[in-house]
């Protein structure tokens, strides 16, 4: 054999692999185009080229997206975090209570945020210990924490189930584009970590082959524990933004967002078997869901169709994911 690196012509399978990677973007574009066309034709108004509409869609995407960012890290390691919805609720309640106790100033808000993060370290750390050190399957461990966080949130909130708070700085945080900007900042941070740092590289390695990661000297147990703590902290930010937007911390804040967070990650191209996935993909997944929801309501379609639509998109994503697996290993 000669030592030349032969340049072969691109194979048709490569094109398929490329589509497999890029299809969420294409689909989002097609969706937006479709709704815009429908909207113009049916009601003579624009669907997307409007500040309010765009903001509404982005806000609707941002809440489950915050959970989904943490979920992306977890899913890349072939795990799953079912507790994120109620950790978000717990955080929403704690933020309201801690800030109320600390006063009216922005410093009080900072204290509230700090306390919220500290409290949310606990469910994350427990998840990490259960899964990384005690070998409990992620589904079961985080399912247990789902119940614990839920109980903790409701207990903390008391009989009212929500904690109202009227705080100027907090209201500013929840106003207009601010929650979207905060979400984007965390998204970018997550992207940088996953793509450019050793921490990100090890996350992928552990997801691909925990044995080889271990042999390479990576402290897999510690890394996984940190991953679950990260997931809880992202959920905490989600809870903080909720309280900021609605001036009240509700223990059930994230109750309906767990499945959307997982759906966003899967639609974005990550495999539930671990080893692949990008937060940008998760972003596209969250946007697809939000565009479908907003679009169907904007066009007076019965909102229950949106569940069917999102369900179909998830199934298609998983099928594409399976096909990608087959392409990669069959080669």
List the interface residues with another protein, window 212-251 (CB under 8 A): 212-213, 215-218, 242, 245-248, 250
Q: Given the complex with another protein, which of 134 and 300 has the nearer CB atom? A: 300
Q: Which residues are CB-neighbours of 84 under 8 A, at least 6 positions away?
A: 67, 70, 71, 231, 232, 234, 235, 238, 254, 257, 258, 261
Structure tokens at 61: 């995407």
Determine the interface stretch with another protein among 127-135, 157-165, 180-188, 314-322 (rule: CB under 8 A).
157-165
- Residue 201 binds to another protein (criterion: CB under 8 A): yes
* Cα 28 to Cα 42: distance, rounded to the nearest angstrom: 21
Residue 289 contacts residue 64 (beta carbons within 8 Å): yes
Single residue of 106, 156, 178, 209 touching another protein by CB under 8 A: 209
Residue 151 contacts residue 251 (beta carbons within 8 Å): no
**What is the residue whose two structure tokens read 């032969």?**
6
- Residue 178 binds to another protein (criterion: CB under 8 A): no
- Residue 14 binds to another protein (criterion: CB under 8 A): yes
Residue 51 contacts residue 208 (beta carbons within 8 Å): no
- Residue 261 binds to another protein (criterion: CB under 8 A): no
Structure tokens at 177: 């584009």
Single residue of 133, 139, 147, 164 touching another protein by CB under 8 A: 164
Determine the interface stretch with another protein among 42-50, 67-75, 106-114, 115-123 (rule: CB under 8 A).
42-50
Report the run of H or E that residue 162 belongs to, with start and end: strand 162-164
Single residue of 72, 97, 225, 293 touching another protein by CB under 8 A: 293
> Residues in contact with another protein, total (CB under 8 A)?
82
Q: Which residues are CB-neighbours of 238 under 8 A, at least 6 positions away?
A: 63, 66, 67, 84, 88, 91, 253, 254, 257
- Residue 161 binds to another protein (criterion: CB under 8 A): yes
- Residue 205 binds to another protein (criterion: CB under 8 A): yes
Report the run of H or E that residue 250 belongs to, with start and end: strand 248-250
Single residue of 169, 187, 229, 275 touching another protein by CB under 8 A: 275
Of the candidates 4, 145, 134, 27, the residue with the CA atom closest to the CA atom of residue 81 = 145
Structure tokens at 153: 């949130």
Least separation in angstroms between residue 166's CB and another protein is 9
- Residue 252 binds to another protein (criterion: CB under 8 A): yes
Determine the interface stretch with another protein among 105-113, 115-123, 290-298, 308-316 (rule: CB under 8 A).
290-298
Least separation in angstroms between residue 8's CB and another protein is 5
């Amino acid at each position: 054999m000669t030592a030349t690196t032969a340049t072969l012509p691109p194979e048709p399978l490569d094109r398929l692999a490329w589509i497999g990677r890029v299809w969420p973007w294409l689909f989002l574009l097609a969706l937006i185009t479709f709704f815009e066309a429908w909207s113009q034709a049916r009601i003579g108004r624009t669907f997307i080229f409007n500040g309010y509409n765009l903001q509404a869609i982005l806000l609707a995407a941002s809440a489950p997206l915050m959970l989904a960012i943490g979920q992306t890290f977890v899913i890349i390691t072939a795990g799953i975090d079912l507790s994120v919805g109620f950790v978000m609720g717990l955080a929403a309640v704690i933020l309201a209570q801690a800030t109320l106790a600390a006063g009216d100033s922005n410093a009080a808000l900072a204290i509230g945020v700090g306390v919220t993060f500290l409290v949310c370290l606990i469910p994350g750390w427990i998840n990490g210990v259960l899964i990384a050190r005690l070998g409990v399957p992620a589904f079961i461990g985080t399912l247990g924490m789902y119940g614990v966080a839920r109980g903790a949130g409701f207990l903390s909130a008391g009989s009212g189930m929500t904690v109202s708070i009227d705080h100027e700085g907090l209201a500013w945080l929840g106003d207009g584009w601010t929650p979207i900007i905060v979400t984007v900042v965390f998204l970018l941070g997550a992207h940088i970590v996953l793509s450019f740092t050793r921490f990100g590289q090890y996350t992928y390695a552990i997801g691909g082959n925990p044995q080889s990661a271990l042999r390479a000297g990576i402290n897999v147990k510690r890394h996984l524990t940190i991953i679950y703590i990260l997931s809880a902290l992202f959920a905490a930010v989600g809870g903080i933004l909720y309280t900021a937007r609605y001036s009240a911390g509700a223990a059930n804040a994230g109750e309906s967002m767990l499945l959307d967070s997982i759906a966003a990650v899967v639609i974005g191209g990550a495999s539930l078997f671990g080893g692949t996935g990008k937060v940008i993909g998760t972003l596209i997944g969250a946007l697809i869901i939000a565009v479908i929801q907003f679009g169907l309501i904007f066009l007076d379609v019965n909102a229950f169709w949106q569940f069917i639509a999102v369900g179909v998109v998830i199934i298609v994503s998983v099928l594409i994911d399976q096909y990608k697996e087959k392409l990669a290993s069959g080669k």
